[in-house]
């Protein structure tokens, strides 16, 4: 039995059973290639007998050579009424022509009786028959013992007997599955100990694997405990996607095994790709990133309190359990109502501002920051607005334009037709008054268009700037439609992207604030680039 840990990814099969998690064929191929680069040992491509897309995926993958990972097809033991060479599920597995095959069988006697509706001995036979039939045709053969922990707790002798059948059939890895996700960490150890004893009794060299689910919020913990008990094959999904509450999260298990437990794994040499792979899967599935996710979330190494920031700057280990760069993440220092001088100074260095702790502007910045946050401003997702705040306090921010006034009109003439929205705006730009109007899809879009129309002949580079995200958060819901709102705007150009914020009881006013900051930031960065 190898001591090197094997990581087996089932995002493309088990992960896609997650609610609202959908991937196209191209998406699956892209993810496969990135998992291979990451150093994942086994990639479960899907169940070729279950749907046409899975068949197409394996056909496409026949023409793609992976550098390290073993592509694996997944399926079930044969139907009791069909011999292996006549069973369509087993034939589909062989037709996929993958170097690895994983099949699952029933470990829990209640499933044998109620789901398969066969006798216990019959189940043992189909496990052995199915594996033995596949064994000569495939390089790697893995057996997933479905519902193993539940089955063990109810009828341990039968549960172990299913492993005997799997060993006799030629399985090289026996994967213990917590399929319902109900097992708690303290239950893992005694069961693992008995399985290890059992394999010794059988004189078997089969690898022990673990496949936890997260229904009790212990998927990762159960996986790590199993590894500490000798499991060397770990199954899970990227970001923990999976049916119900998800599978064990490989993005958390991999760094724990490699960086904390110090165990050898192929993925260890490329672990700095973990952050990018995590985000790629979310992007392709069109799902938001979990900013609070351990290791790879935006907040995983974010520091908000002034005391924390000061300590982290002296020695990061004071408030960080690993170096963020190891998994491809970065340290972030947040600006908040808890911020002290350390936070502001850290940002000043980042923005290239000449500011020290005794500068009078420091007091102005902190005072202004606290006033604005008391009104509802937050700068965690709007660093561009905070940089502008600092520059204004230091009196080093150039004025690119002045607002004289704007008006937005929304007209609805017939219930069956869209509203007509027009914005007019009056600005002073480089000493010249500019008065423009524009139609738009809603008041914010109309205002954005009118402002750009007024400015673009003076600043042509605004043509390349685009608004890519717009979020509205109600801050005081008890006031109903009179509530204060916070608007976050995300913008980008050809070089970078940035966030800005506005707060008001008037959603158009809040949007205006965020839009003005976005344009000012763009013009400022262009000016700096031209000067540099």
Q: Is the pLDDT of residue 1 over 50?
A: no
Task: Give mean pLDDT, residues 258-270.
Answer: 97
* Cα(135)–Cα(468) distance, integer angstroms: 52
In this prediction, residue 22 carries a pLDDT of 92
**Minimum mean pLDDT range among 119-123, 222-226, 327-331:** 327-331
User: Left, alpha or beta for 412 (phi > 0: left; psi -120 to 50: alpha)?
Assistant: beta
Q: Is the pLDDT of residue 383 over 50?
A: yes
Q: Is the pLDDT of residue 166 over 90?
A: yes
Question: Which helix (H) or strand (E) element contains residue 525?
Answer: helix 507-531
* Cα(42)–Cα(142) distance, integer angstroms: 10
In the chain, count H helices and then E strands. 17, 16
Would you list the DSSP string of 85-127? GG-HHHHHHHHTT-SEEEEEEE-SHHHIIIII-S-HHHHHHHH
**Minimum mean pLDDT range among 326-335, 394-403, 472-481:** 472-481
Task: Give mean pLDDT, residues 4-14.
Answer: 97
* Inter-residue contact 436 to 454 (CB < 8 Å): yes
Task: Give mean pLDDT, residues 208-234.
Answer: 98
CB count, 10 Å around CB of 476? Answer: 12
For the domain made up of 401-458, the CATH class stated in words is: alpha beta
SS (H, E, C) 268-328: HHHHHHHHHHHHHHHHHCCCCCCCCCCCCCCCCCEECCHHHHHHHHHCHHHCCCCCHHHHC
Task: Give mean pLDDT, residues 395-412.
Answer: 91
Task: Give mean pLDDT, residues 92-101.
Answer: 97
Q: Is the pLDDT of residue 219 over 70?
A: yes
* Cα(435)–Cα(430) distance, integer angstroms: 14
Alpha helices, H only, 401-485: 443-455
In this prediction, residue 480 carries a pLDDT of 64
Copy the structure tokens of residue 360.
Answer: 């009078």
Task: Give mean pLDDT, residues 228-254.
Answer: 98
Assign 391 to helix, strand or coil: helix
Band (152; pLDDT cuts 50, 70, 90): very high
Question: Which helix (H) or strand (E) element contains residue 466?
Answer: strand 466-474
Question: Which residue ranges make up each domain of the chain?
Answer: 6-284, 302-393, 401-458
* Inter-residue contact 150 to 181 (CB < 8 Å): no
Q: What is the largest CA-CA distance in the chain?
A: 91
In this prediction, residue 299 carries a pLDDT of 86
One fold for both 302-393 and 401-458? Answer: no
Task: Give mean pLDDT, residues 193-220.
Answer: 97
Q: Taking each helix axis as running N to C, give the angle between helix 341-351 and helix 306-314, from 0 to 180 degrees, rounded to the nearest 10.
A: 60
**445 or 283, which is more confident?**
445
Assign a CATH topology to domain 302-393: Recoverin; domain 1 (1.10.238)
* Inter-residue contact 344 to 390 (CB < 8 Å): yes
Cα separations in angstroms, 65 against 11, 41, 61, 384: 19, 14, 8, 44
Residue with tokens 């060993």: 167
Copy the structure tokens of residue 509.
Answer: 């006013």
Q: Is the pLDDT of residue 222 over 50?
A: yes
Copy the structure tokens of residue 461.
Answer: 């580079």
Query: Considering only CA atoms, which of 282, 524, 271 is closest in space to residue 387?
Result: 524
Copy the structure tokens of residue 381.
Answer: 């997702």
Query: Considering only CA atoms, which of 103, 176, 105, 175 is closest in space to residue 135?
Result: 103
* Inter-residue contact 434 to 406 (CB < 8 Å): no
Task: Give mean pLDDT, residues 308-329.
Answer: 79
**Minimum mean pLDDT range among 8-22, 297-311, 428-442:** 297-311
* Cα(35)–Cα(27) distance, integer angstroms: 12
Residue with tokens 């502001």: 344
Q: Is the pLDDT of residue 355 over 80?
A: yes
Question: Which helix (H) or strand (E) element contains residue 76?
Answer: strand 70-76
Q: Is the pLDDT of residue 339 over 80?
A: no
pLDDT digits (tens, 9 = 90+) for 464-479: 999 888 888 888 655 6
Return mean pLDDT, the chain: 91
**226 or 310, which is more confident?**
226
Band (126; pLDDT cuts 50, 70, 90): very high
Assign a CATH topology to domain 6-284: TIM Barrel (3.20.20)
* Cα(435)–Cα(360) distance, integer angstroms: 39
Task: Give mean pLDDT, residues 498-507.
Answer: 92
**105 or 333, which is more confident?**
105
Task: Give mean pLDDT, residues 337-344.
Answer: 65
**258 or 300, which is more confident?**
258
Cα separations in angstroms, 98 against 70, 229, 231: 8, 30, 24
pTM for this one?
Answer: 0.71
DSSP assigned state of 237: B
* Cα(152)–Cα(6) distance, integer angstroms: 24
């Amino acid at each position: 039995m190898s001591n090197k840990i094997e990581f087996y990814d089932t995002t493309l099969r088990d992960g896609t059973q997650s609610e609202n998690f959908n991937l196209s064929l191209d998406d699956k191929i892209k993810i496969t290639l990135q998992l291979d680069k990451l150093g994942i040992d086994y990639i479960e491509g899907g169940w070729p007998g279950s749907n046409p897309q899975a068949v197409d995926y394996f056909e496409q993958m026949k023409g793609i050579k992976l550098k390290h990972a073993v592509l694996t097809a997944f399926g079930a033991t044969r139907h009791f009424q069909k011999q292996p060479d006549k069973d369509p599920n087993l034939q589909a597995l062989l037709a996929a022509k993958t170097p690895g095959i994983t099949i699952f069988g029933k470990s829990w006697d209640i499933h044998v009786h109620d789901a398969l509706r066969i006798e216990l001995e019959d189940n043992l036979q189909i496990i052995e028959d199915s594996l033995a039939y596949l064994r000569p045709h495939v390089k790697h053969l893995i057996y997933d013992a479905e519902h193993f922990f539940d089955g063990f707790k109810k009828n341990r002798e039968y549960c172990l007997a299913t492993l005997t059948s799997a060993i006799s059939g030629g399985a090289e890895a026996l994967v213990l599955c917590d399929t319902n996700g109900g097992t708690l960490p303290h239950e893992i150890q005694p069961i693992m100990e008995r399985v290890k004893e059992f394999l010794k009794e059988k004189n078997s060299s089969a690898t022990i694997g673990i496949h936890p689910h997260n229904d009790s919020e212990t998927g990762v913990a159960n996986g790590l405990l199993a590894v500490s008990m000798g499991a060397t094959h770990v199954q899970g999904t990227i970001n923990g996607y999976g049916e119900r509450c998800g599978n064990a999260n490989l993005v958390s298990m991999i760094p724990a095994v490699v960086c904390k437990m110090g165990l050898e794994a192929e993925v260890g040499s490329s672990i700095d790709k973990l952050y990018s792979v995590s985000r790629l899967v979310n992007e392709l599935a069109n799902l938001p990133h979990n900013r609070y996710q351990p290791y790879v979330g935006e907040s995983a190494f974010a520091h908000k309190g002034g005391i924390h920031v000061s300590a982290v700057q002296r020695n990061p280990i004071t408030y960080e359990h690993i170096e963020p760069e190891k998994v491809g993440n970065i340290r972030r220092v947040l600006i908040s109502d808890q911020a002290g001088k350390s936070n502001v100074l850290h940002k000043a260095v980042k923005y290239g501002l000449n500011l020290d702790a005794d500068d009078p502007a420091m007091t102005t910045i902190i005072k202004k920051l606290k006033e604005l946050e008391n009104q509802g401003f937050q700068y965690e997702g709007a660093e561009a607005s905070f940089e502008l705040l600092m520059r204004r306090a230091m009196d080093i921010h150039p004025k690119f334009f002045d607002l004289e006034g704007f008006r937005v009109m929304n007209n609805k003439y017939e219930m069956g037709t869209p509203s007509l929205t027009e914005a007019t705006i009056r600005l002073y730009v480089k000493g010249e008054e500019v008065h423009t109007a524009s139609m738009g899809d809603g008041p914010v879009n109309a205002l954005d268009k009118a402002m750009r129309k007024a400015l673009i002949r003076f600043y042509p580079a605004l043509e390349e700037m685009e608004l890519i995200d717009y979020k509205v958060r109600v801050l005081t819901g008890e006031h109903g439609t009179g509530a204060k709102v916070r608007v976050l705007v995300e913008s980008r150009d050809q070089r970078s992207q940035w966030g800005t914020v506005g707060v008001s009881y008037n959603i158009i006013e809040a949007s205006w604030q965020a839009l003005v900051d976005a344009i000012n930031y763009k013009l400022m960065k262009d000016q700096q680039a031209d000067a540099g």
